[in-house]
Amino acid sequence: MPYWGLYLQSEQFSAADIGILMSLFQISRIFAPNLWGWLADHTKQRVKWIKLTALLGLMGFVAVFWAHGFWWLFFVMAALSLFTSSTLPLSESLTLAHLATTNGHYSRIRMWGSLGFIFAAVILGFMMDAYGIKSLLWFLLVVQIVLFYLTFKLPEATIAPHESDHFSIWKILKQPAVIALLIGCALMVTAHGVLYNFYSIYLAEHGYSKGMIGLLWGLGVICEIIIFMWMPKIMARFSLKTILLTSLALAVCRFSLIGVAVDNMVLLLIAQSLHAATFGSFHAASVEVITQFFNGRHQARGQAIYNSVAYGVGGTIGGLSGGYALQYLGGTHTFLLAALFPLLGFIVIALGLKLAQTHASKGMFS
């Protein structure tokens, strides 16, 4: 994600065009995960659908090598994103189902995704400096192949019955606390949609090399890993709502710093270290709250709905608005405007989120 915008820029697309193309990944998250989540819950076979989405994602990515021009890339990326956007929420629900019966640690498992991100961000930055932007495509092809292979190593999980199984999922969705959580998450991800799509372009325009851009991305995710390791102690001490609100407040600081201090390395490093809160602690607390609301047979669809609203709707708004803002207002104003979204999210969560279980359950985070 950090480098795909640079690849599109190398194909001579404008910031607005890049915003449209990058938003396809987020638009597909609005509806695709819900389809696959429903199939997983209905068939009780999550691994089968993870394998299928990984295979179709691999096949779709191969077409990128021949796709040039806006409309060719538009259709290829649209098809690709229909499948790649669903693999993660299906895997999350599979992980949570295993943890419900094994008393495992979600944050320690999720940490490996962060390690993968650091490896890719740092290695790719220096690789593209040495071999050019096209090396990105070959690297990602290898990743897609390995990902598909690893799906055959996933064990299926038994979904334990839950007392809320007889509820309609719409009854859960209509709860004011659920609505507040989803809106708050979408507002946080809107700001991150701007970050993921345009942060690398913004840094490159200010003279940073791709190697340095990769190191800055790596720093953010290293801090994310540290916070995942600390989450059991943090969740034992603080309520989930407090963690969410603190993360949102720090997000306002982070995006403001990116906007006004892009040429100040010290402040930029501080802003990147805040990724620990704006993604790490916020994501962990959000997943825990979602599992409180969506249990049993609603688990996969609950994760899918969370991904659809937060990362689908929020990411799409951030990607589209960020592209036009970058093109017509410049990077500084774009990231200052992005800081407004977590501020609104703070207000929504503060006023609307009420939890029957204020702290994390002991299974996943302790």
Among candidate residues 78, 92, 90, 88, the one with its CA nearest the CA of residue 28 = 78
Alpha helices in 206-314 (DSSP H): 210-237, 240-260, 265-273, 275, 282-293, 299-306
CB–CB of 312/25 below 8 Å? no
Q: How far is it, in rounded angstroms, from Cα 227 to Cα 243?
A: 12
Among candidate residues 256, 259, 251, the one with its CA nearest the CA of residue 278 = 251
Say what the pLDDT of residue 103 is: 67
pLDDT above 80 for 107: no
State the average pLDDT over residues 265-281. Answer: 95
Reported confidence tier of residue 3, pLDDT bands at 50, 70, 90: confident
Reported confidence tier of residue 299, pLDDT bands at 50, 70, 90: low
pLDDT above 60 for 165: no
Reported confidence tier of residue 366, pLDDT bands at 50, 70, 90: very low
pLDDT above 70 for 265: yes
Q: How far is it, in rounded angstroms, from Cα 143 to Cα 210?
A: 20
CB–CB of 336/167 below 8 Å? no
| Residue-range definition of the domain harbouring residue 289 | 4-154+168-365
Q: 85 or 272: whose pLDDT is higher?
A: 272
Inside any domain, residue 163: no
Instruction: Please enumerate in sequence order all residues whose Cβ is within 8 A of that of 223, keeping only pairs 6 or more positions apart, or say none.
Output: 272, 273, 274, 275, 276, 280
| Total count of domains within the chain | 1
Q: 33 or 351: whose pLDDT is higher?
A: 351
Any idea which residue has 């602690």 for tokens? Answer: 281
Q: For residue 264, is it left (φ>0), alpha (ψ between -120 and 50) or beta?
A: beta
Task: Please give the mean pLDDT across all residues of the chain.
Answer: 86
pLDDT above 90 for 121: no
pLDDT above 90 for 43: no
Inside any domain, residue 259: yes
| Least trusted range by pLDDT, from 69-83, 102-116, 264-278 | 102-116
pLDDT above 70 for 363: no
Inside any domain, residue 342: yes
As given in the structure block, the two tokens for residue 58 are: 């691999």
State the average pLDDT over residues 282-307. Answer: 80
pLDDT above 70 for 160: no
pLDDT above 90 for 260: yes
240 burial level (CB within 10 Å; 0-12, 13-18, 19+) = buried
pLDDT above 70 for 30: yes
Alpha helices in the chain (DSSP H): 4-10, 15-43, 46-62, 70-102, 106-131, 135-150, 169-173, 176-205, 210-237, 240-260, 265-273, 275, 282-293, 299-306, 315-328, 331-338, 340-352, 362-365
Inside any domain, residue 108: yes
State the average pLDDT over residues 1-9. Answer: 86
204-259 tens-digit pLDDT:
999 999 899 989 999 998 998 899 888 888 988 999 999 999 999 999 999 999 99
**Would you mind telling me the total number of residues written for the chain in this entry?**
366
For residue 334, give the CATH number of its domain. Answer: 1.20.1250.20
Say what the pLDDT of residue 312 is: 86
CB–CB of 341/259 below 8 Å? no
297 burial level (CB within 10 Å; 0-12, 13-18, 19+) = buried
pLDDT above 70 for 364: no
